[in-house]
Amino acid sequence: MRIALGISYGGSAYEGWQSQLSGNTVQDKLELALSKFSAQPVRVMCAGRTDAGVHALLQVVHFDTLLQRDIRSWVRGVNAFLPSDIAVQWAREVPDEFHSRGSAIARRYAYVVLESPVRPSVEAGRVGWVYRPLDSAAMQTAVTYLIGEHDFSSFRAAQCQAKTPVKTISRIDISRRTGSDSSCYWRFEFEANAFLHHMIRNIMGCLVAIGQGKHAPEWLDQVLAARSRDVAAPTFSPHGLYFLGPVYEDHFGLPARTAAYDWLP
């Protein structure tokens, strides 16, 4: 049968999602735990690969197995073999045609950024950081140029393996939560049919530059039209980037949230 799992993890200690020779990736840790639990090798496919330092509230994976276990045991049993910063949130039996990556109709990410004259401490690795104030109106205007179907080559990493740079962004929401007199937390939420490698981090670099007054909002439209990575701002830090999870059609019956959604600012 085919099993789907919802996974959450903190990415600070790992070299990203995708398996590496070092064995220090989220995929390596998950497959090792699954193999120990089932007493046979298990390989998984994921909904979206994340970079080193990037977290996930709802990564979704699938795998095939002949092992007959109560579906609930795939949560508690596998978690017994996982590090404390990786946890299976739920398990579901899914039809053979389900594919964690191929069946996803959209993907969602959030960036949490601390605006403060002092760098983060207890939030280190959990939030991005800017020490110059950000202009909400300028950034809100800028993101309107990105909505819809576009060639996002200007925001594509050189090592990106996507077959096409054309993607469709359906939503970018920007919100602000006031902290002390000199600090606040920003949340940037992105939803698209798919993302290129480093696409969100490169967009964030441009939005921060606009928010700090280094460029006018219209500059983002020029960057998009140039289709050249050379004209965009530097890639923003992975700290504070969260994979919120994929979106699937309702008939698969998979959860769309985990408890971590209520914790994230």
Mean pLDDT of 219-230: 97
Catalytic residue (one of 28, 51, 221, 262): 51
Domain membership of residue 247 (yes or no) is no
Asked whether 126 and 47 are in contact (CB, 8 A), the reply is: no
118 lies in the same domain as 95: no
What pLDDT digit, counting tens, does each position of 136-169 carry?
Answer: 999 999 999 999 999 999 999 988 888 999 999 9
Paired with 9 in beta bridges are 56, 86
* CA nearest neighbour of 172 among 208, 140, 197: 140
Length of the chain: 265
Mean pLDDT of 62-71: 93
Domain membership of residue 29 (yes or no) is yes
136 lies in the same domain as 124: yes
Domain membership of residue 71 (yes or no) is yes
Q: What percent of the chain has pLDDT over 70?
A: 100
As a whole number of Å, the CA-based R_g of the chain is: 19
Is pLDDT above 90 for 48?
A: yes
pLDDT of residue 233: 96
3-state secondary structure of 134: coil
Count Cβ atoms below 10 Å from residue 182 Cβ, excluding itself. 11
pLDDT of residue 240: 96
pLDDT of residue 161: 86
* CA nearest neighbour of 42 among 13, 78, 11: 78
Number of independent structural domains in the chain = 2
Q: What is the pTM of this model?
A: 0.95
Mean confidence (pLDDT) of the chain:
95
Per the annotation, the verdict on 85 as an active-site residue is no
3-state secondary structure of 75: helix
Q: CATH code at 97?
A: 3.30.70.580
pLDDT of residue 262: 83
Residue found under tokens 């046979």 = 40
* CA nearest neighbour of 85 among 136, 29, 130, 18: 29
pLDDT of residue 158: 87
69 lies in the same domain as 114: no
Q: How many CA atoms lie within 13 A of 250 on its CB side?
A: 0
Is pLDDT above 90 for 99?
A: yes
Is pLDDT above 80 for 247?
A: yes
Whole-number Å distance between alpha carbons of 181 and 23: 44
51 lies in the same domain as 141: no
Mean pLDDT of 245-254: 96
Domain membership of residue 252 (yes or no) is no
Domain membership of residue 254 (yes or no) is no
Q: What angle do CA 163, 166, 170 make, to 5 degrees?
A: 130
136 lies in the same domain as 51: no
Range of the domain at 111: 106-242
What pLDDT digit, counting tens, does each position of 172-224 carry?
Answer: 999 999 876 788 999 999 999 999 999 999 999 999 999 999 999 999 999 99
Q: How far is CA 25 from CA 28, 31, 102, 119, 242, in A?
A: 5, 10, 22, 27, 16
To which H or E segment does residue 63 belong?
A: strand 55-64
What pLDDT digit, counting tens, does each position of 103-117 carry?
Answer: 999 999 999 999 999
Whole-number Å distance between alpha carbons of 239 and 129: 8
